[in-house]
Amino acid sequence: MNPQKYIEKLQRFKADPDIGELLDFDKIAVSRAFVEALEGAIEHYDAHRDTTFISNLLGAIQESSCYNGVLQYACDRIRRTPKFVDGALKFIKSDSPAPAHQTLAHYIKSHRGTARVVQTPKRPTEPSAPKKKSKRRPYLDMLDSPARLPGSFEGGRRR
């Protein structure tokens, strides 16, 4: 199926208030038509290096709990890493080799989460680098300091 036509249909149905609330995006994400549209978008990427169809398909199912699985499947197929910059999805070149071809259903089962869950930054698991200790000057009593004015308290001289 042509991904552009499928995206337009999804957006039209989603925008319609009577139909939009009845849509189940979890079922749409595993439907044959969606899988064919996603494969067409991946083929379009292979031919033109254009990720707009993939981004639009993912944008149509943001509320679905299958979003993360579809995102990981598409990224593995096009050998890219997803990154969210100011709420927008960007695909960054990945050096990792393409994994063995697995089905979309496998990715959906193993990667659950909506767009909101995926966009939330994760806390670093590794401890941060140890802080450097600042070099402290050796302790110098103010009464022994050369900055003390002559004739001040306990200066040792009488005048």
pLDDT of residue 7: 87
Q: Which pLDDT belongs to residue 107?
A: 82
Kindly report the number of other CB atoms within 10 A of residue 127's CB atom: 6
Say what the pLDDT of residue 6 is. 87
Which pLDDT score is estimated for 50?
92
pLDDT, position 135: 80
pLDDT in tens, 82-141: 888 887 889 998 887 777 778 888 888 887 666 555 555 556 667 667 777 778 877 767
Per-residue pLDDT at 52: 92
pTM > 0.85: yes or no:
no
Q: So what's the pLDDT on residue 11? A: 87
Task: Name beta bridge partners: 84.
Answer: 89
pLDDT digit string, tens, across residues 20-71: 888 888 888 889 999 999 999 999 999 999 999 999 999 888 888 888 889 9
CA-to-CA separations, 75 to 18, 114, 119, 156, in angstroms, rounded: 33, 16, 15, 80
Query: What is the pLDDT, as a whole number, of residue 113?
Result: 66
